[in-house]
Structure 1
Amino acid sequence: MAERGPGAGPIKVLIVDDSAVMRQALTSRLHASAGIEVIAAVPDPIFAMRRMNQSWPDVVLLDLEMPRMDGLTFLKKIMAIRPTPVVICSALTERGARTAMTALAAGAVAVIAKPATGLRGFVEDSSDDIVTAVRAAAAGRVRRPDTATRPAVPPPVPHRPGTPPGAAGPVVAIGASTGGTQALETVLTALPRVDFGIVVVQHMPAVFTNAFAARLDPMCQVTVKEAADGDPVRAGHVLVAPGGRHMELRNSDGRYRVRISDGPPVNRHRPSVDVLFRSVAEAAGPGALGIIMTGMGDDGARGLLEMRRRGALSIAQDEATCAVYGMPGSAVALGAVDREVPLPSIAEVIRQHG
């Protein structure tokens, strides 16, 4: 599915949720947002398909647990018929998180975590995040999961001076948002067991990052886990920032560890890519590789510029392979990027690091 161009009209949204309260609250909030039109709010996928036969939406807001047909089965049908941006509304539970990760792997572009009770208040409190998710989904590209491009030989990247004597070894820092779960899966599953550590911020709610890491770990040669405060950054290990908390890199006597904190959101995000990248610039300097990937907004652009100024190599996922080019595009516009690299080549750039 191609990106929506300027002047394309309002974003047409279909809400599919068996909770009448959720349907009403989402409809009210989205109708109040300029440039968004809710074309229907229905209780299950059977009603949704009938409505979609009349008018196909630009974005689907989809619950996962529904009668007659579950949301995951419906998502797979949509992706087989006509790939469309789908934002998952999933219960804030371990089971809901695991199912949401499967949905993201099946082609959904984002996930919103909803509580079991207090749905109307949740929509009111999270209205900005919901509207942002819908706009990001509408702005992005959607591809069938089985159409990933093959790995390519990466373009040449500039060389940086080696790590200064006495400093900790090399480290890789990655930041992503909308479309990032699929992109990170592409990169991390293609990596061999490297001789350095990797730290990742993926914008995602609490609970979901643990499910994301747990899903990736058995698929990868590197070890993937959700980070805990004080975790060492080890060779061949990937630490994913926990949802709802910031992650920073610290250099203590030549050894890297991560610090997990509950500071205020940065660029409306917690975890924030900027927070991670700035800490990597300070802790690792020229020993670091910074990679900014698909996502809406500009989180990470300024932090990546700081890394580059400290001598780190900085890479952005190229526009052609991004679901949403916002974050990489902002970094490029800021002069923070040494080279843009297509998604299938990023694993090879990482492999060559250090």
Structure 2
Amino acid sequence: HRADNARQVRVMLVEDSAVIRGMVRSWLDGVDNVEVVASADNGQIALNTVAAARPDIIILDIEMPVMDGLTALPGLLAACPGVKVLIASTLSKRNAEISMKAINMGAADYLAKPSFARDGNEARRMFKEELVRKVVGLGQNGGGGHHGVVHTPAPANDAGANRAAAATSGWTTIPSGSSDFKLRPASRVRPRILVIGSSTGGPAALSKVLGALKGRLSGVPVVITQHMPPTFTTLLGETLSRLSGLEGGETHDGETVSAGRIYVAPGGFHMRLIQLGSQIKIALNDGPPINHCRPAVDPLFESVAQIYRGAALGVVLTGMGSDGALGAVKIADAGGSVLAQDEASSIVWGMPGAAMAAGACVAAVELENLGDRIGLMLGLGSGRNKIKT
């Protein structure tokens, strides 16, 4: 059932439960072009065997005997440069804190593992669906490049290497074979809001961008949807508030939106902005997932477009899938501006690639320069150079 000419994505399972290892292996064996090449029941065995296994993706448990996942992570990343590590652990506050630390240390993404005995078949089905989706998405990012297929990230204008939107993953396919993206002119109106959407690789990208803008965001509210479960979004809000120097964090329903504050959508809830008289408020709901996600970026971007029109500045950061592309078009059509993270600096160029392919963006910008580019568009000048008049 495998396409002979397609590259196999090599997966390593690091998980102390033999039952879960067997179950995940059987799921992935049923996925085209995905091959489980190694498994280990603790971090030490993983470290001893990872170089020979040459995986593109490591599914890494946190709590294991002998050596836990967090302790093993730096060695695994060092042994396989470019490998994508998917943290899989049960959702508790402690594990969320450890997993966020792992993401800050270089893990690509997180997957909440149900308690299989307690949570039943529906939880197992959802876990399987999410696991397969994330493995397929990360695998289409060109993999780790350990066996002569892809050795370096694609340059920003190379169509294809990081585009994680295969039909098999249930997302809109990004047109391949063309890097001729239609760009929009930037709005001539000074932005009154900065709104950001992100997914896989997003926490690190958000930290970089907001850290670069520290002290320069007092004039706008900063509103963020990052695909993450509850508890994680609480921790992310605290981290981004500290890095940006802004008050706020994870938001709540009915909160007033004001300049100089940060608002992070809570896991499990879509976030929109609504206008009530002269005030703009946060509106949360737990309606059905949109683009496989809750929170989703599209409803936030669409609501921002309606309220702020040409004074909206949207940013689409790294992430698999195409969430945010339709909302980015709405912002652009209303006269606002949208920036996308470029392909070379994205963990997965799904969401920003989709926004570019939709013709919604002013530019695709390298992560290193994105903070300064946002600062220039906010009319604040660069952190390094003052804006020239």
TM score, norm. by length of structure 2 = 0.80
In 2, the alpha carbon distance for the partners of 1:50 and 1:302 equals 45
Take 1:120 and 1:14, find their aligned partners in 2: how far apart are those partners?
A: 26
1:52 partner letter:
V
1:250 and 2:248 are equivalent in the alignment: no
Cα displacement string for residues 175-201 of structure 1 (whole angstroms, at most 9, x for unaligned residues): 111111111111111113311101111
Asked if the contact 2:197/2:225 (under 8 Å) is kept, the reply is: yes
Q: Which residue is equivalent to 1:97?
A: 96
Residue from 306, 326, 338 that aligns with 1:302: 326
Match of 1:30 in 2: 28
Q: CA deviation at 1:158?
A: 4.6
* Distance (whole Å) between structure 1 residues aligned to residue 143 and residue 239 of structure 2: 21
Structure 1 segment 57-136 matched on structure 2, within 5 A: 57-83=55-81, 84-118=83-117, 121=121, 122-136=123-137
Q: Deviations over 1:269-302 (max 9, x none)?
A: 1111111111111121111101111111111111
The match for 2:150 is none
Question: How far did 1:81 drift?
Answer: 2.8
Asked whether the equivalents of residues 42 and 67 of structure 2 are also in contact (C-alpha less than 8 Å), the reply is yes
Matched residue, 2:222? 198
SS at match of 1:68: coil
Counterpart-to-counterpart distance in 2, 1:224 and 1:36: 42
Deviation of 1:142 after TM superposition, in Å, equals 8.9
Partner SS, residue 13 of structure 2: strand
Equivalent position SS for 1:73: helix
Quote the Cα distance in structure 1 between the aligned partners of 2:291 and 2:11.
26
- The superposition leaves residues 44-70 of structure 1 with CA deviations (integer Å, 9 ceiling, x where unpaired) of 112223332432111000011111111
The residue matched to 2:12 in structure 1 has which SS? Answer: strand
User: Shift of the alpha carbon at 1:214?
Assistant: 2.1
1:230-241 map, 5 Å: 230-241=254-265
Give every structure 1 segment of 4 or more consecutive aligned residues whose post-TM-superposition deviation is greater than 6 Å.
Answer: none
- Return the match for 1:223 from 213, 229, 247: 247
What secondary structure does 2:344 align onto?
A: helix
Amino acid at match of 1:162: V
Q: After superposition, give the CA deviation of every residue in 1:63-101 in whole Å (9 maximum; x if it has no partner).
A: 111111110111111122323110001221111111111
SS of residue in 1 equivalent to 2:257: coil
SS at structure 2 position matched to 1:271: coil
SS at match of 2:229: coil
* SS of residue in 2 equivalent to 1:264: coil
Residue of structure 1 equivalent to 2:189: 162
Aligned CA distance change for structure 1 residues 142 and 227 (closer, same or farther; 3 Å): farther
Q: Which amino acid aligns with 1:340?
A: A
Match of 1:154 in 2: none
* CA–CA separation in structure 1 for the residues paired with 2:208 and 2:63: 27
Q: Which residue of 1 aligns with 2:312?
A: 288
Q: 1:99 to 1:141 in 2, by over 3 A?
A: farther
Alignment match, 2:298: 274
Gaps of 5+ in 1: 1-5, 144-156, 164-168
Please tell me whether the aligned partners of residues 198 and 233 of structure 1 are also in contact (alpha carbons under 8 angstroms).
no
Q: In the alignment, which residue of structure 2 is the partner of 1:184?
A: 206
Find out whether 1:46 has 2:44 as its counterpart: yes
Q: Which runs of 5+ in 2 are unaligned?
A: 145-183, 380-389
Asked if 1 retains the 8 angstrom alpha-carbon contact of 2:206 and 2:240, the reply is: no
Matched-pair contact (CA < 8 Å) for 1:304–1:314: yes
CA distance, structure 1, for counterparts of residue 9 and residue 320 of structure 2: 16
The answer for the alignment partner of 2:369 in structure 1 is 345
Q: CA deviation at 1:207?
A: 1.8
Tell me the amino acid that sits aligned with residue 136 of structure 2.
Answer: R
Distance 2:137 2:202 in 1: 12
Q: Report the Cα offset of residue 161 of structure 1.
A: 3.9
User: What letter matches 2:359 in structure 1?
Assistant: G
- CA shift, 1:120, in A, is 7.3
The Cα of 1:346 is off from its aligned counterpart by: 1.8
Report the AA paired with residue 241 of structure 1: A
Partners of 2:6 and 2:33 within 8 A in 1:
no
Cα 1:160–1:125, aligned 2, differ >3 Å: closer, same or farther?
Answer: closer
The aligned residue for residue 10 of structure 2 is: 12
TM-score w.r.t. structure 1 length? 0.87
Query: How many Å apart are 1:235 and its aligned residue?
Result: 1.8
Equivalent-residue separation in structure 2 for 1:80 and 1:287 (angstroms): 44
State the shift of 1:41 in Å: 2.7
Separation (CA, whole Å) in 2 of partners of 1:141 and 1:312: 33
1:334 has 2:361 as partner = no
- 1:141 shift after superposition: 7.3
Deviations along 1:228-272, one digit per CA (max 9) or x if unpaired, are 111122222211111121000112223222111011111111111
The amino acid that maps onto 1:76 is P
Counterpart Cα distance in 2 of 1:130 and 1:120: 17
Cα deviation, residue 349, structure 1: 2.9
Which stretch shows the higher mean deviation, 202-211 or 298-307? 202-211
Aligned match of 2:349? 325
The 1:123/1:135 distance shift into structure 2, 3 A limit, reads same
